[in-house]
Chains A and B, each alone.
Chain A
Amino acid sequence: MLSFILRRLLQAIPILFGVSVMVFLMVQMIPGSPLDLLLPPDASPQLIEQMKEAYGFDKPAWQQYLLWLWQLLHGNLGYSIFNGAPVADELFDALGNTFVLAIPAAFTGFGLGILLGVSAALSQGGPLDKLLSAIAITGVSLPHYWFAIVMVVIFSVNLNWLPAQGMQFTGVPTTLAGFKSMILPVITLSLIPMGVVARVVRAAVLEVMSQEFVNTLHAKGLWDRSVLLHVMKNAAPATLAVMGLQFGYLLGGSILVETVFNWPGSGNLLNLAIFRRDIPVMQATIIVLAAFFVLLNLIVDIAQALIDPRIRR
């Protein structure tokens, strides 16, 4: 097992390396010098040179890449070109704010999804199955950013129960107002994972239930915990895999929801950085989110292998 974990860790390194190359190349496609944002209009040539040197833009691209990578490996994400602030500060604040939404959204979405999926599978073909499957498919078909606006109209503006926007706390919510400000974004974010997980769980449970011995047990009236446990255990790897992916999408996809709710998370930061052409912030946000995603897939692989040793290759 340990060697499996180690091997997967080692496999992640070239992927992360590839990701860093890709991010750097993408950023190189942006036209113009990013320093134009920072320099006074009548800046002296010396100042321009000085700034280029400070940001390393005077070097050839490959050197810039290596420099960036070197700094990255040392945890230095650079400085925002737009306001000179250290990117790491802003990014980790923003990531914290995103996680504060993504984690409860994941719990809600996964929990509801599993509940929906299992219930649908147990009542396969019946009206309950149809209803629950319809809910699940709605979850994946709704443009959730639009749904968010609709909810704001209903719950914030018309009923005045929940705040329409903004994060009413820093760090973690401790006040009622803080919790209330999380409700709408969390619901919105949990829609897609709920739908996807419900569909995967339903399929996985049906698959396991179609196996002969489960039918035998069932026929014998042994439809008890051990059977359920067995079904769960066999449906777990597929469910885990999709949950890992979905959590990654929650982090990356929060950008739309954060825009609607004016939530100061990483998606919001990325959006701002894109419109400002703030390269260091863009690079750092994308690579950190991608690294999280790679890490997440790694954890899922390991968890899957723990549950089902056959997966260890």
Chain B
Amino acid sequence: MTSYAKDTGSEFPSVSSYRDLKVQESPGYWAMVRKRILRDPVTLISAAILLVIILSAILAPVLAPYDPYVGNIMTRMKPVGFEGHLLGTDETGRDMLSRLLFGGRLSLIAGVVPVSIALLIGGSLGITAGFFGGLVNTVIMRVTDVFYAFPSILLAIAICGMLGTGLFNTLLSLTLVFIPPIVRISESVTTQVRNLDFVEAARASGAGSFALMRYQVLPNVLAPILVYTTSLVSLSIILAAGLSFLGLGVSAPAAEWGLMLNSLRQMIYIDPVLAALPGVLIFATSMCFNLISDGLRSAMDVRLKV
């Protein structure tokens, strides 16, 4: 660019002298968010618990004392604390600890994968609809309305029921379930942001649609969309487990918390503690995601002053 100061003869130094200017760093938005989260014990504890769950799922092959798919019929249904089986054994004599560790993998996948894919698809669609408005918006939003006309569990069950059981179909049906709400949220957030003056200003500066989206709109819509999505992960875990519980989700002998809950249901009168374990883990994981979502939401709320 040309220098603004040169013709004016003003007291300002030349532009080039600004190249190496020492600039005072500002903590910035994310630093503020980080600071707020660090002051929020509930979110920190939830994150820590979740981290433990995620790590143990990832490290399941290392941590698990037994093969989660091989049991010994002679030591079936042993209670928590039974010798050699810290958390007991299930109805076919498989080690509960190992199955719970491995089960976390499928349950977390069932929670995170559909929501992530739905975020990718639904977020793009919603942001596109909100950003361009007009006919594009109408087409995307009306189609979304149709999907949105199904209560989420009903849609998941219907799709799984028709496609058949299995992990892939579970993930597919849950993805389809989460696209419409994400499209809606993304669209409404984007429409709001798009009508703010700074986007107009950026447009007035000659930026193309892509640059506007990339630099002006996206950074401002991603955070609220992400926060909303985090709470969906919790719902996804519960729904996936619910599908398995109905016999429509992943199929036996997969180690998955919902499926384990279903097959251990029979043991609830015999060993309630054992039967409750997968339920407790589903609950804990989903609770953590919800609490983290809440924590992020209030930490990202600009109206609150630091």
Contacts and interface: CB of A to CB of B under 8 A. Distances in A.
Interface of A: 14-16, 18-19, 21-23, 26-27, 29-30, 137-138, 140-143, 145-147, 149-150, 153, 157, 248-249, 251-253, 255-256, 259, 270-271, 274-275, 282, 286, 289-290, 293-294, 297
Given A137-B287, A137-B290, A137-B294, A26 B153 contact: no
A15 B246 contact: no
Nearest to A28: B162
Contacts of B151: 248-249, 251-253, 289-290, 293
Interface of B: 142-143, 145-147, 149-155, 157-159, 161-163, 234-235, 238, 241-242, 245-248, 258, 261, 265, 268-269, 272, 276, 279, 282-283, 286-287, 290-291, 294
B261 A143 contact: yes
4 cross-chain pairs, A with B, having the tightest CB-CB distances, nearest first: A252-B151, A18-B146, A274-B161, A252-B154
Contacts of B269: 153, 157
Nearest to A253: B153
Nearest to B234: A141
Contacts of A251: 151
Contacts of A282: 158, 161-162
Contact of B283 (A142, A248, A286): A142
Contacts of A259: 245-246
A256 B153 contact: yes
B290 A286 contact: no
Contact of A143 (B149, B157, B161, B241): B241
Given A30-B162, A143-B282, A256 B242 contact: yes
Given A141-B290, A253-B151, A255-B246, 11 more contacts: A16-B149, A21-B146, A22-B146, A143-B258, A147-B279, A149-B268, A259-B245, A270-B158, A282-B158, A286-B150, A286-B158
Nearest to B257: A143
Contacts of B242: 143, 145, 256
Contacts of A137: 287, 290-291, 294
A26 B291 CA distance: 36
A293 B153 CA distance: 13
B157 A274 contact: yes
Contact of A271 (B246, B265, B283): B246
A289 B152 CA distance: 12
A289 B154 CA distance: 9
Contact of B286 (A22, A23, A143, A153): A143
A14 B291 CA distance: 38
Chain A CB within 10 A, most for which of B150, B159, B282: B150
B287 A252 contact: no
Contacts of B261: 143, 146
A141 B246 contact: no
A271 B161 CA distance: 8
A253 B286 CA distance: 18
B157 A149 contact: no
Given A141-B234, A150-B276, A271-B246, A252 B146 contact: no
Contacts of A150: 268, 276, 279
